[in-house]
Chain A
């Protein structure tokens, strides 16, 4: 069975500071991993995805994530936070065959001025 754990339901950073959102996964097969952002009352927007190519994945809005198999992690980072980054972030693992996603519980990012 596959699962996703997001450590920290709430993260606060100062504007301009490093953003680090943690995601650990469990999968018996090579996983497909995704990071999504959700603004209030909106759907999900894909930030980036890992599909067994390069382990360092660059996404939109300056975000990137590194797939570390040994640590079963796929943490999301951004060098410098912007006020517009304040949102809910979800990590998800995809399953080949059924193509279902399993979502983490989400991390709400707050950016302080």
Chain B
């Protein structure tokens, strides 16, 4: 149980376009989802915390107008990279909390999305 999926797994886009990444909790309801960014051979950096039905909370230094996060349902959060540029190329990973499952302090991670901006 507690499976998280991401779509797409890989995306290549041209500079200046927008890209949407979906994060879904498949077998549980996730009131809170997290979005991370990982550069090659580096650790995961938390970008934002997404709560269902409310605005996302962004970490310091993350441009909220560039990385739009929507958490419209208990099983879906989306990250839209607007006007993407090559420096936005990265591995984006989402995670979700399963509060009803008793594992309230644990995050379940998606498989990640590789974004390449040309």
Residues of chain A having any CB pair with chain B under 8 Å:
32, 34, 36, 41-46, 49, 51, 90, 94, 96, 98-106, 108
Q: Which of B61-69, B74-82, B107-115 lies on the face that meets chain A? A: B107-115
The closest CB in chain A to the CB of B113 belongs to: A43
- Complex A-B: 16 CB contacts under 8 Å: A41-B91, A43-B112, A44-B44, A49-B106, A51-B105, A90-B44, A94-B105, A98-B49, A99-B97, A99-B104, A100-B49, A102-B46, A103-B44, A105-B42, A106-B43, A108-B41
**Interface residues in B, total, Cβ within 8 A:** 24
What distance in Å separates the Cβ of B61 from its nearest Cβ neighbour in chain A? Answer: 15
Against A, the Cβ 8 Å flags (1 = close, 0 = not) of B18-35 are 000000000000001010
- Chain B residues whose C-beta falls within 8 Å of the C-beta of A51 in the assembled complex: 105
Q: Are B107 and A42 in contact (CB under 8 A)?
A: no
Contact of B43 among A41, A43, A98, A103 (CB under 8 A): A103
Q: Taking A90-B43, A98-B49, A103-B43 as contacts, is the C-beta distance between A43 and B110 under 8 angstroms?
A: yes
- Which residues of B line the A interface, CB within 8 A? 4, 6, 32, 34, 41-46, 49, 91, 93, 95, 97, 104-107, 109-112, 114
Q: Per DSSP, are chain A's interface residues mostly helix, strand or loop, or mixed?
A: strand
Q: A43-B93, A44-B93, A90-B44 are in contact. Are A99 and B109 (CB under 8 A)?
A: no
Q: Is A99's CB under 8 angstroms from B32's CB? A: yes
Min Cβ gap A38→B in Å is 9
Distance A108 CA – B42 CA, assembled complex (angstroms): 10
**Which residues of the other chain, B, contact A34 by a CB distance below 8 angstroms?**
106
Q: Is the CB of B97 within 8 A of A41?
A: no
Measured CA separation A34–B105 after assembly (Å): 10
Residue of A nearest to B99 (CB): A99
